[in-house]
Chains A and B, each alone.
Chain A
Amino acid sequence: MNWLRPYTYFSIIILVLPVALLVYEGFGPMYDSTGVSMGVLRSIELSFAGSATAGLLNVALFTPLAYYVSRRRNELLATLSDIPASIPHPIVGISLLLLDSPLTPIGRALLSVGINFFDTYLGFVSALTIISAPIYVTALRSYFDSMDRSAENFAVSLGAPPQRVFTDVVVPSSYGGIVNALLTSISRALSEFGSVAIVAYYVLQQPFYGVESASVKIYELYGYSGPRVAVTASALMIGFSLILLLASRLIKRYAFRPVFVLGGPS
């Protein structure tokens, strides 16, 4: 008997059922208009803005790291880059606050130049960046691992030093992989709660003054307004996340398809 197919569908049901039920209840029997209030929409807006910023920071800060780790097979660096993903996220939040605390020399130096993480958009984005960076690095490293190295070797043999190989050959050939890793890291950042609740429970800066991230807002609604409101707000957040997921699938499928040219003179 071919059990693989029913087993696969069973696995998918395990993953999808709770979310599907929540969406159904949130927009159906348990709908509560407080769950789609302006406050909830602003929280979702903050989460998407912060996650997108964190994703772009991942691209700028960690693309070279992913490439270096891939090519040098440097497992020490790979392990170090994975640390934020392997510790409880509230600890990441506490460590960020400590880094920026007047109790430490580094914190005093940062504060003296106006870098403040506590309840700021900078702190919010910093937490999301650090939490999502390991996902970005891992995804992009896998992409670089799977790349054919002939073009790089050709450039090297022409005299290109490693940094020129990276900028001239690897990055222009890797837009698909970078966008894929970026979208994966944005999805991860969107779901972050633990570190954000410590570093920036509220963002106390314009244009998000007094706004919480979506995950914090939903947690708060669950505690203070009851499950019906939380379920509706959660369903709304899932709706926006599904749009991102769908967009990322479409981008992966259509925007970065490899071009194959057959025939032509040789």
Chain B
Amino acid sequence: MGKNGSGKTTLINTLAGFYEVDSGSIVVNGVDVTGLEAHRRGIVVVNHNSHLPNMEVDDHLVYGLKLKGLSTDRKRLELVKSSLGINYNGKVGKLSLGMKLRVALATALLSTPKAILVDEVFSSLHDSVKALEAYKRLSGEWGIDVLYTTQSADEGKVADKLYLIESGRTSLLKSNNKPA
């Protein structure tokens, strides 16, 4: 959690490899990814504009899998779609913001990355806490770590570990002693 300008997005872009690191290292699941290019890190970033506008919804959802050369598990696809309320088709660029965000979150999940970084996205969804809980359940079952930023205390309560970020510095506010 953190206010505007506290460094949430900078942290996410740095972890994802979009910004260069001046000092220190980034370790994901025990592997130092600091020197890896962004597309090799296995860290998916979802923000308000994270969608591929010219793709159809179904193609979009499996794009990450396609990049890895993996086939689509229909059962898993349907589970994600129903959990996130994706019951629509068409070009992603023509959907409403909330619909786009659900597609982006689902795409990230289906690509089975090491981690998903979600930048203030849930608060733009209808019934954000419910959507967040569904996302947490799915990602937990599949062993994918999710780091999300928010300004909402209600959304913060869903997290296993809750950090406060101020001027780029983090402090632990809450921990459920589960992997975060």
Binding site for B on A (CB under 8 A): 148, 150-151, 153-162, 164, 168-169, 172-173, 259, 261-266
Contacts and interface: CB of A to CB of B under 8 A. Distances in A.
Contacts of B99: 264-266
A264 B97 CA distance: 9
Contacts of B38: 153, 156-157
Contacts of A264: 95-96, 98-99
Nearest to A258: B93
B170 to A, nearest CB: 21
B159 to A, nearest CB: 21
Interface in B1-57: 16, 18, 38-54
B173 interface: no
A244 B40 CA distance: 46
A263 B95 CA distance: 9
B33 to A, nearest CB: 12
Given A153-B50, A154-B46, 6 more contacts: A150-B47, A154-B52, A158-B64, A159-B40, A261-B95, A266-B126
A151 B108 contact: no
A164 to B, nearest CB: 7
A150 B94 contact: no
B55 to A, nearest CB: 8
B125 interface: yes
A28 B47 CA distance: 62
Contacts, number: 88
Contacts of A160: 39, 67
Contacts of A172: 54
A164 B113 CA distance: 18
Contacts of A150: 47-50
Contact of B54 (A148, A162, A173): A173
Given A173-B53, A264-B95, A265-B98, A159 B39 contact: yes
Given A151-B49, A266-B124, A159 B96 contact: no
A157 B52 contact: no
Contacts of A263: 96
B107 interface: yes
A148 B125 contact: no
B96 A266 contact: yes
Contact of B111 (A156, A158, A169): A158
A159 B115 CA distance: 12
A143 to B, nearest CB: 16
A235 to B, nearest CB: 43
A172 B64 CA distance: 18
Nearest to B87: A265
B63 A158 contact: yes
B84 to A, nearest CB: 12
B104 interface: yes
Contacts of B42: 159
A158 B47 CA distance: 13
Contacts of A155: 52, 63
B54 to A, nearest CB: 4
B67 A259 contact: no
